[in-house]
Amino acid sequence: MKIIYWSQSGNTEKMARLILEGIESEGKKAELLEVSSVSLDDVKNEGILILGCPASGAEELEESEVEPFVKSLERNIQGKKVALFGSWGWGNGEWMTEWENRMKSYGATLISEGLTVQECPEGEDEDKCINFGILIAKSE
């Protein structure tokens, strides 16, 4: 399993680390990778992809690294299981809904609804991230 993320101020990165903690608590392994260090070849053999990006632009994916990477998944992600997560600030979560619909239209199966946390995960939100990791681990 690979957890591939982009994070400007560390909130989505913290989510990624907590998700990893949840996966590892189930005795499973996952690799934590920044999207800038990943190419399509790295994901071709993965059955499960865990992707993280905060709400950016105006309810959009981050445009310089995440958007092109996600676009590259089109026609390369059929039959894979995908879990999406990301932090947000002030919007309505539209970026995540659109991202989910896009992944489904690419032929991926969502393991669950995308996990969204406002700003930095603390308290209950930390538990949500860990539990998301546990859910992903159990779906393997």
The rounded distance, in Å, linking the Cα atoms of 98 and 32 is: 24
Minimal distance, residue 93 CB to ligand FMN, in Å = 7
136 closest CA partner among 102, 119, 113:
113
Q: Can you say how many angstroms the Cα of residue 55 is from the centroid of all Cα atoms in its chain?
A: 12
Q: Tokens 């995540």 map to which residue?
A: 96
Backbone angles phi, psi at 80, to 5 degrees: -85, 155
Contacts with ligand FMN, 14-53, as mask; x by CB under 6 A: ----------------------------------------
- Choice from 69, 87, 129, 137 touching ligand FMN (CB under 6 A): 87
Q: Select from 10, 31, 71, 104 the one that contacts ligand FMN (CB under 6 A).
A: 10
Among 26, 74, 89, 127, binds ligand FMN (CB under 6 A): 89
Among 91, 101, 113, 140, binds ligand FMN (CB under 6 A): 91
- Residues 73-91 as b/e (b if ≥16 CB within 10 A, e otherwise) read beeebeebbbbbbbbbeee
Closer Cβ to ligand FMN, 10 or 68, answer by number: 10
Where on the chain is the footprint of ligand FMN (CB under 6 A)? 7-13, 54-59, 87-91, 119
